[in-house]
Amino acid sequence: MFLTNTVFKVKENPYLKEKYYYIHHKSGLDVYVFPKKMSVSYAIFGTRYGSIDNKFRLKGDAEYTEVPDGIAHFLEHKMFENEDGVDTFKRYAKYGASANAYTSFQLTAYLFSSTSNFYENLDILLDFVTHPYFTPETVAKEQGIIAQEIRMREDSPGNVLIFDLLKNMYARNSVRKEIAGTVESISKITADILYRCYNVFYNLNNMSLCVCGDIDPDKVLSVCDSVLSVSPDIEIERIRESDKPEVHRPRSEKKMKVARPMFDIGIKNAFIPEDGVDRMKASAVMSIVSDMLFGSSSDFFNELYEEGLLSNNLSLWSENNRDFSFFTLGGEADEPEKIFERFTSHMEKIKSEGLDEKQFSSFKRVQVANTVRGFESTSSIANGFLNSLFDGGDILDYADILGNVTVEDANSLIQRVFTERNYAMSVVRPVDD
């Protein structure tokens, strides 16, 4: 039933009651189909190309190309315009799909959700992403729009805090740069540079399609057959600036129109496993540790809350991928330095005592339950899958990996990572302080 040049595989997780089909399409594209009886069918078509890919070449090229910051995001916006002048949203509108796209540090993704006409919409998705069309005029128009997107983020204290923190943690890693770039950097973008980036990164061998919903894999493949041509086999070489293991600087401070001081504490983790499965395991350990040490039932949070030092849950993020790894905890507090001090003394205590094994198991169970919850919607499955896939993992394995993590894994991570030289903090203070 499948065409030549394709590899076909089924993977199932009986506990989650989920499965997917994997097909390597002859065009070079990897296709993943999650059948799921839901109202919404969802498709996401992504390329391994994000804001940190700003210096690269194709194997065999003499020189590296260095591009202005924010170009992956700019390209994402520009893909929605087509040579015939009909923008992509209009094409989708005919079939009632809700379409969008996003750019992160490491990937660009185009997606839609629809409750009917799935294959017609899929045809549009594959078609517009494989047909770039940029002119000096359309680039100029987009500079105005994205400039306002950048201004909006500059006025958002949460966004300022996290990027200040990344700048504090990393001296050279491009994760320190705003994904959308700056008004100045995007002014340097031209149609030619967009084509250059497109031709390198939007090669089907560098991309994947993930669809989830009430979907027939055969029909997905026939859409691929009719829209996609074979991409040449290429090898992309990306320059990653090496960063020091410890933080670049411990503090930064800005003033903005906010009600009270806001902070983000970061813990940089320089121990990133090479292997994708090992990295998933490390991510699992990190998410349990983050929840257990700083979550709503942690001693740390509850003490600070009861003392009136914190008024809301900390916002927690643990990130771990091949290019960067860290924990962050953010919130509002009259005295951020005091929170930071309490954080360091709390960690010293944890390091000397170690984690309680029984409690660890309970937090592990919560994380497994949260993973199950992630399989309730077609959009969270498709997005979660693509992000994990691009980092060498597979979300269908994540619940089992979590289940096998031990308290020793967590204690050893804590001993290695939680030391003063890996800590940084960004603070935004009220302008009228």
Partner 1 sequence: MQLLKKAIAEGITLNVIPADKFKTDRISVNFLTPLNSEKAALNALLVKVLGRGTKSWPDMKSLSRALDDIYGTGLSDHNYKRGETQIFGFSLGMLKSEYAVDETDIMSEALKILSEVLFEPALENGGLRTDYVETEKKNLIDDIKAKINNKSGWALERCVEEMCAGESYSVSVTGTIEQVEKIKPEELMEHYKSIFKNCRIEIFYVGNADVDRVNGLIKNLMVPLSDGVKVPALSADVKRKADNEPREITEDILAKQGKLVLGFRSGSVLEDPDYHMFKVFCELYGGSPTCKLFENVRERLSLCYYCWASNEAFKGIMLVSSGIENTEKDKAQAEILRQLGLVAEGDFTDKELENAKLSLCNGYKEIYDQKGSLEAWYLGRLLAGREDSPLENVDKIMKVTREEVMQKAAGVSLDTVYFMHGTEEADTEEGEDEDVSD
The runs of H, that is alpha helices, within 105-173 are: 118-129, 136-154, 157-169
CA distances from 236 to 29, 128, 131, 201, 206 (A): 16, 23, 20, 8, 9
Catalytic residue among 76, 81, 142, 178: 76
CB of 403 to partner 1, least distance (A): 9
Supply the DSSP symbol for 52. T
User: Where in 377-406 is the site for partner 1 (CB under 8 A)?
Assistant: 377-378
152 binds partner 1 (CB under 8 A): yes
Among 120, 154, 319, 397, binds partner 1 (CB under 8 A): 154
Q: Which two tokens stand for residue 133?
A: 């069309």
207-213 and 30-35 strand pairing? parallel
One residue of 187, 297, 345, 404 binding partner 1 per CB under 8 A: 297
Answer whether 158's CB lies under 8 Å from 427's CB.
no
Among 66, 155, 235, 253, binds partner 1 (CB under 8 A): 155
| Cα distance between residue 33 and residue 215, in whole Å | 8
List strands edge to edge, sheet with 65-66. 65-66, 55-58, 236-238
Catalytic-residue membership of 83: no
**Binding status of residue 270 toward partner 1 by CB under 8 A:** no
Of 24-32, 59-67, 164-172, 345-353, the segment contacting partner 1 by CB under 8 A is 164-172
Q: Helices then strands (H, E): number in the chain?
A: 15, 15
Closest distance between partner 1 and the C-beta of residue 172, in Å?
Answer: 6
- For residue 420, the minimal CB distance to partner 1 (Å) is 19
Residue 239 token pair: 């320059």
d(CA 175, CA 330): 18
Given candidates 6, 13, 104, 182, which one binds partner 1 under the rule CB under 8 A?
Answer: 182
Pick the closer one to partner 1 by CB: 185 or 206: 185
369 binds partner 1 (CB under 8 A): yes
- Name the minimum Å distance from CB 379 to partner 1: 9
Near partner 1 by CB under 8 A: residue from 5, 8, 39, 406: 39
141 interacts with partner 1 by CB under 8 A: yes
C-alpha pair distances (Å), 339 with each of 157, 163, 258, 329, 354 = 18, 20, 19, 11, 21
* CA distances in angstroms from 117 to 214, 250, 352, listed in the order given: 11, 53, 59
Mapped onto helix, strand or coil, the DSSP state of residue 423 is strand
Q: Least separation, in Å, of the C-beta of 2 and partner 1?
A: 29
- Decide if residue 135 touches partner 1 (CB under 8 A): no
* Binds partner 1 (CB under 8 A): choice among 9, 12, 64, 116: 116
Tell me which residue of 352, 350, 249, 333 sits closest to 290, measured CA to CA: 350
Q: Which of 350, 254, 260, 351 is nearest to 309 (CA)?
A: 260
Q: Which residues share a beta bridge with 429?
A: 255
Q: Which of 252, 290, 52, 70 is nearest to 161 (CA)?
A: 252
Stretch that binds partner 1, among 148-156, 268-276, 278-286, 409-417 (CB under 8 A): 148-156
Stretch that binds partner 1, among 195-203, 272-280, 316-324, 372-380 (CB under 8 A): 372-380
Report if residue 167 touches partner 1, rule: CB under 8 A: yes
Q: Is 99 in the site for partner 1 (CB under 8 A)?
A: yes
The answer to whether residue 53 forms part of the interface with partner 1 (CB under 8 A) is no
User: Which residue among 362, 404, 412, 415 contacts partner 1 (CB under 8 A)?
Assistant: 362
Which residues from 210-269 bind partner 1, rule CB under 8 A? 244, 248, 256-260, 262
Any contact of residue 145 with partner 1 (CB under 8 A)? Answer: yes
- Residue closer to partner 1 by CB (options 6, 315) is 315
Query: Strands, E, within 87-182: which ranges?
Result: 98-103, 108-114
**C-beta closer to partner 1: residue 7 or 145:** 145
Q: How many residues bind partner 1 (CB under 8 A)?
A: 74
**Euclidean distance between CA atoms 93 and 119, whole angstroms:** 14
109 token code pair:
């993704």
Determine, following the binding rule CB under 8 A, whether residue 148 of this chain makes contact with partner 1: yes
Strands laid side by side in the 325-332 sheet:
251-256, 423-430, 262-268, 325-332, 315-320
Task: Say whether residue 332 binds partner 1 (CB under 8 A).
Answer: yes
Asked if 416 touches partner 1 (CB under 8 A), the answer is no
Binding flag, residue 188, partner 1 (CB under 8 A): no
For residue 106, what are the contacts with CB-CB under 8 A and spacing of at least 6?
48, 50, 52, 53, 321, 323, 390, 391
205 binds partner 1, rule: CB under 8 A: no
Is position 90 an interface residue for partner 1 (rule: CB under 8 A)?
Answer: yes
Active site residues: 76
